[in-house]
Amino acid sequence: MRETRETARAARRTVLRAGVVLLGLVAVLGFWGSALFQVTFGRALYMTIVTMSTLGDAAIRVHGGQQEAWVVATLLSGIVIGVAAIASLTGFGWVDYFQTVRRERMLKRLQQHVIVAGGGRVGRRAARELLAARRTALVIERDPQLARDLQAEGIDCLHGDATDRATLERAGLDRSAGLIAALPDDAANLYAVSLARDLRPGLPIAARAAESRAAELMQRAGATRVVLPEISAGRNLAAFLTRPTMVELLEDGSVEEIRVREGSRLCGKTIAEVAASGFSGTVAAVKRHGGFLTGIGGDTGIEADDILLLVGDPERLAQELPLLIR
């Protein structure tokens, strides 16, 4: 009831402001027309209202550029006011329309982004972490208010159902770099994982599960990695005490991971050659064919599809990585 009263008050305020603007516009055009046509202000107001309504007045004789400019300005004002009135009466929101157009263009431009299914606490946190790592994130959220909150926070959000094929396609799943299934229940996450795997067989998929049985089903459905909150939290707490330096490196962004693509400038180079090229970071580990190489050194060669773990200053890594991996 309170929301209804607030909406009614807002509507009345909008109408009042629109009326004041309209009267001010008529007055300004009336004064201008009175000066141009050498008529009384009352006659000028009549001319303004008739012209603004696009009915026209055969008695008006237009001579000269300034009088023509007045007629054009008055006519255009009437047309704009008429369109705005029709839009208001039909409930058509111009702001929403242009926001929708802008959003659709943004969706079509997305490349190598990470889709986050669900904008709740877990999904929102995942999106924030992706943005902090300078990755592009797109959240799919069903709740319209939550979707607006995410947009207000600066997180790109698509209002829709992540378990719907059309929504995933609209989110650019075929151009994405991965999917995070962070929906509020295991059944929805399982369906999202299965659907995404069907649409993109090789897509990296990370999923959240509340139950161990659900985690097993998600892995069978094609999830690359399934996280159970209680297990993850336990590991993090233990790591904080047993490996505090590693945790600190991960939390402050001093560790980055890159995959060496075919044709990359890194292919065929040794770790020593990478360091000699001016790269400020250190190659801490190399993962190849699912396992980490042991005893790596300056003469270790880098191959396509290798995964490199790099340690260095977070800001310098962010600047150098785009140049390093191209």
Q: Kindly write down the DSSP assignment for every residue of 85-128, as one continuous string.
A: HHHHHHT--HHHHHHHHHHHHHHHH--S-EEEE--SHHHHHHHH
Q: Are residues 154 and 74 both part of a single domain? A: no
Residue 252 is given by DSSP the state T
Identify whether the C-beta of residue 254 lies closer than 8 Å to the C-beta of residue 311: yes
Q: Based on the fold, state whether residues 132 and 226 are members of the same structural domain.
A: yes
Give the domain range for residue 260: 254-325
For residues 19 and 57, state if they share a domain. Answer: yes
Residue of 182, 123, 184 whose CA lies nearest to 155 = 123
Is residue 34 assigned to a domain?
A: yes
Write out the DSSP string of 147-215: HHHHHHTT--EEES-TTSHHHHHHTTGGG-SEEEE--SSHHHHHHHHHHHHHH-TT--EEEE-SSHHHH
Q: How far apart are CA 181 and CA 194, in angstroms?
A: 11
Give the chain's residues under pLDDT 70: 1-16, 18-19, 30, 33-37, 54-64, 68, 71, 82-99, 253, 325-326
Residues 206 and 269 in one domain: no
Q: Are residues 86 and 115 in the same domain?
A: no
Specify whether 129 is located in the same domain as 212. yes
The H-assigned helical ranges of 243-288 are 244-251, 271-276
What CATH number has the domain bearing residue 77? 1.10.287.70
* pLDDT (0 to 100) of residue 69: 76
Which helix (H) or strand (E) segment is 34 a member of? helix 2-37
User: Which two three-digit tokens encode residue 127?
Assistant: 């999106």
Residue 7 pLDDT: 47
What CATH number does the domain containing 164 carry? 3.40.50.720
Cβ atoms 275, 298 nearer than 8 A: yes
Q: How far apart are CA 219 and CA 215, in angstroms?
A: 6
Q: Is residue 219 part of a domain?
A: yes
**pTM for the structure as a whole:** 0.63
* Whole-number pLDDT of residue 205: 96
User: Do both 9 and 74 map to the same domain?
Assistant: yes
pLDDT of residue 248: 80
The per-residue pLDDT for 88 is 62
Residue 85 has which token pair? 């009135």
The pLDDT of residue 140? 96
Q: Which two tokens stand for residue 247?
A: 């945790």
* Residue 280 falls inside a structural domain: yes
**Is 104 part of any domain?**
no
Domain boundary at 41, 61, 90, which?
Answer: 90
**Is the domain of 194 the same as that of 85?**
no
